[in-house]
Structure 1
Amino acid sequence: MAGTTPRYDICRHCQERFPQASGPGRKKEYCSVKCRRKAQRERDGRLGRQQARSALPMGRRIAEDLQALSAALLEAEYDGRSLKELLRCASDVAREVEYYMTAAVQDARNTGASWDQVAEAARVSTTTARTRWSEGRVKERLQRRATQRAAVRQPVTPSVEGLDPMREQPLSQAAKLASALSHLHRASDLTIREVAEHLSVSPSYVSRILSGERTPSWTVTCSLVQLCGGDPAELSVLFESAHGLVPPGRHAIPDAVARLQAALQGLHLAAGRPELEVIRKASRGMLSSQAISEILAGEMVPGWEQTSALVTALGGWPADLRPLWESVHYTFLLCLDPEEGPRQLPDAYPEST
């Protein structure tokens, strides 16, 4: 209509004024197709960054694989393998450490860390940080790692029929606790609803505990174990490890021995309480059935080679129980000579600080 004042709006991308179309229908938000496409690309970029921030950090996934490779190196040491094998395992660890550093920097950048902050953390110049961990180099390295994964040997727990689960990688501490609770529950013939009614919790909560989705409190753990006919003491160390609790480093001899025994019994329970003969086979002949029976019953305090063999046969990490074993022997030696004990301990048992 003649004499009508044209209507103008502000472009959402370039912020410039543009004449808005008159009449019915959806109004334009951008001054041109070019601005609309640029805005779309920016939205896609922001979404990608948000997804990168919300996803599981790359560094964490690589750190989990690094733990497995480190355990393989430790196991090779325990087994007394050749220098060639030890160096191969060490090379695997060193390579994964480099990939971890790359992923950790990328994770930090995804969460907003500046290049100055990255440089300070890595103790290099900002220019070096930008060059070493540029987007192109990070993508190239992680792609190279992905193609190498099939060639990297992972620690494999010996497969022995009847020992379930015998896994490619030992379970996490929380998963071990869940596995032990689940075994007790299955052996009790109680339904999840019956357990929930006794514990005054919901059936879904019990189900999440048994599946490992939730880690229960000690009160709930004790009640569940007792209800299923088990001994809470056997799960005490598993519970502490699952919650990341660090107990005092020094114990009286009976307490230190009891904690080591509880840890071994907990692993036995988490593995589904396999028969002695099954464990003996999984230990590669390093343990006799009688020795296994005496260790699990608390009638014998094992040496480190026996402890390591038993832990590995039950699907655990020997390194996880090393502090408990050292605590037993440290306390024992200290009691033999309370004044001279700390100075006479071998290097394998350094005094805790």
Structure 2
Amino acid sequence: MPSSGPQYGKCRYCRQRFERTGKPGRKQEYCTPACRRRAQRERSRNTPNTAQPVDSPLPLARNIAESVQALADGLLAAEYDEQDLALLLGRAAELTREVEYYVCAAVHDARIQGAGWDTVAAAASVSPATARSRWAGKTVRRRLERRASERPAARPRDAAGHAVQARPDGQQAGQPGERTSGKLAAALSHLHRSSGLTIREVADTMGLSPSYVSRILSGERVPTWPVVVILADLFDGDPDELAVLWENAQGLTPPARRPLPDAAARLNSALRGLYLAAACPSPARIHEASGGALSVPTVKDILAGRLVPDWKTTVAFVRAVGGTPADIRPLWEAVHYAFLVFLDPLPDGAEPPSSPAPDRDAGAAREKHPGQDGLTP
């Protein structure tokens, strides 16, 4: 006959002897629920990463976050292009799905780094049981595999859903995940190549290490503005053409209100900065990259600062040189705002937002409205 006395076991986690409860079912292996949770957490840490899709580097969430940013940029560009509601809602739905995939990946990364379900639950404002059922390893793997099947390799598409043109330098424009710091690095690299200086010569002149200069030119490091100015001068370039690229890389928001000449000059410098980042393609190549939307004379006038284009023309130029229209929109709107202020000045005694434009610019400003056929400064 089986013994009716107490039964004892050794806890698999703390190795302490404990009295089993004697309840029917699987034999009790841990002395307390806390020891069972700690053991499960250690197994999760030490078990190979079965939830991670093959060939997907950690952290998964960072890669998906870059895709989220690209989709958000596409939605904003579609708004600026005044696309129809069906396309806008389709973009929004795609962005929503990608955000949901990001949440799965972010929880997965946290679990791999040792976060318990209590921590995940607190971060997501759900119960531990809900967190475990919603983001268990097999569930996350299945969702990310579905994401991979939904996103077959394809050429990037513009706001209207059309495949984008190749950039004049042979690369595709608008690649998802392309960082704004890459534009600054591309522009500096082009100026560096044109200068004929070696990285060692640049480093010695500036008193920096060659490796640091190399990281700046490759986009691994975003330099301070004084360093950008020195590099531009050293390479025989114009620092003003790099200012907006540097601000975008730093996530800075410039003042919105400027006098008309300053706003127009700043927009032109930003467009020339993107032109530098594309390795200064010829106007004919920009014409081709725009799908014929930009004539060669128009491209020359934009680059020379003789024309502030309307928004449609600005978008065509920016995309043709591999830029993101959403990055340029605030600068274009600043010109538009300054022009409206010039046409409708503030009442007597009111403080103007900035100094008035010189007369020579005022006469030209009357020629065209920037929101219509373009403004000739």
TM-score, normalised by the number of residues in structure 1: 0.74
Q: Which amino acid aligns with 2:124?
A: V
Deviations 1:174-221 (A, max 9, x none): 111111111001011111111111111111111111111111111111
Of 306, 312, 318, which residue of structure 2 is paired with 1:305?
Answer: 312
Distance 1:140 1:165, change over 3 A: closer
Q: Which residue is equivalent to 2:278? A: 271
1:146 aligns with 2:145: no
Going from structure 1 to structure 2, the CA distance change for 1:192 and 1:152 (only over 3 Å counts) comes to: closer
Q: Which residue of 2 aligns with 1:64?
A: 66
- Are 1:116 and 2:118 an aligned pair? no
Deviation at 1:307, TM superposition (A): 0.6
**Is the CA contact 1:163–1:278 (under 8 Å) kept in the aligned structure 2?**
no
Structure 2: distance between partners of 1:335 and 1:127: 62
Describe the shift of the 1:331–1:47 C-alpha distance in structure 2 as closer, same or farther (beyond 3 A): farther
Which residues of 2 match residues 130-145 of structure 1 at below 5 A? 131-145=133-147
In the aligned structure 1, how far is the partner of 2:229 from the partner of 2:235?
10
Give the partner amino acid of 1:100. Answer: Y
Residue 14 (structure 2) aligns with: 14
More divergent stretch after superposition (77-86 vs 136-145): 77-86
Mark the CA change 1:75 to 1:118 in structure 2 (over 3 Å): closer, same or farther. Answer: closer
Residue matched to 2:182: 175
1:163 partnered with 2:169: yes
**Counterparts of 1:40 and 1:85 in 2: how far apart (Å)?**
50
Greater per-residue helix proportion: 1
Q: Deviations over 1:144-194 (max 9, x none)?
A: 11222217774353126x534434607311111111111001011111111
- State how far apart, in whole Å, the 1-side matches of 2:44 and 2:67 are: 30
Q: Percent identity among equivalent residues?
A: 51
Contact 1:253 1:331 in 2 (8 A): yes
1:45 paired with 2:44, answer yes
Q: Is the contact between residue 69 and residue 154 of structure 1 (CA under 8 Å) also seen in structure 2?
A: no
Q: Which range moves more in the overlay, 330-339 or 315-324? A: 330-339
Q: Give the C-alpha shift of residue 305 in structure 1.
A: 0.3
1:14 counterpart letter in structure 2: C
Q: Unaligned stretches of 5+ in structure 2?
A: 1-10, 18-37, 52-56, 158-162, 354-370, 372-377
With structure 2 as the length reference, what TM-score do the two structures score?
0.69
C-alpha deviation, 1:240, in angstroms? 1.0
Q: How far 1:82 moved relative to its partner?
A: 7.3
CA distance 1:66–1:154, change in 2 (3 Å):
farther
Alignment of structure 1 residues 184-223 onto 2, 5 Å: 184-223=191-230
C-alpha distance in structure 2 between counterparts of 1:128 and 1:43, whole Å: 21
Letter in 2 for 1:236: A
In 2, Cα distance between equivalents of 1:187 and 1:151: 35
Q: Does structure 2 retain, via aligned residues, the 8 Å contact 1:72–1:154?
A: no
Q: The residue matched to 2:205 in structure 1 has which SS?
A: helix
**Range moving further from structure 2, 263-272 or 210-219:** 210-219
Q: What is the identity, as a one-letter code, of the residue corresponding to 1:209?
A: I
Over residues 253-307 of structure 1, what are the superposed CA-to-partner deviations in whole Å (9 max), with x where a residue is unaligned? 2221122111111000000000000001111111111111111211111110011
Is the contact made by 2:173 and 2:321 (CA closer than 8 Å) also made in structure 1?
A: no
Alpha-carbon spacing, 1:81–1:255, altered in 2? closer, same or farther (3 Å): closer
Q: How far, CA to CA, are the matches of 1:337 and 1:131 in structure 2?
A: 61
Equivalent AA in structure 1 for residue 44 of structure 2 = G
Q: Match of 2:250?
A: 243
Q: Distance in 2 between matches of 1:339 and 1:263?
A: 29
AA at the equivalent of 2:302: I
Q: How far apart are residue 130 of structure 1 and its match? A: 5.1
Aligned residues of 2:187 and 2:277 also touching (Cα < 8 A): yes
Counterparts of 1:13 and 1:106, CA distance in 2? 24
Range 68-77 or range 284-293, more displaced: 68-77
Cα distance in 2, alignment partners of residues 275 and 73 from structure 1: 30
Report the Cα offset of residue 65 of structure 1.
1.4
Structure 1 equivalent of residue 337 of structure 2: 330
Q: What SS class does the counterpart of residue 150 from structure 1 fall into?
A: coil
* Deviation of the 1:74 alpha carbon: 5.2
Q: Which letter does structure 2 place at the counterpart of 1:220?
A: V
Match of 1:102 in 2: 104
Secondary structure (helix, strand or coil) at the match of 1:235 reads: helix
**Distance in 2, Cα, partners of 1:140 & 1:166:** 31
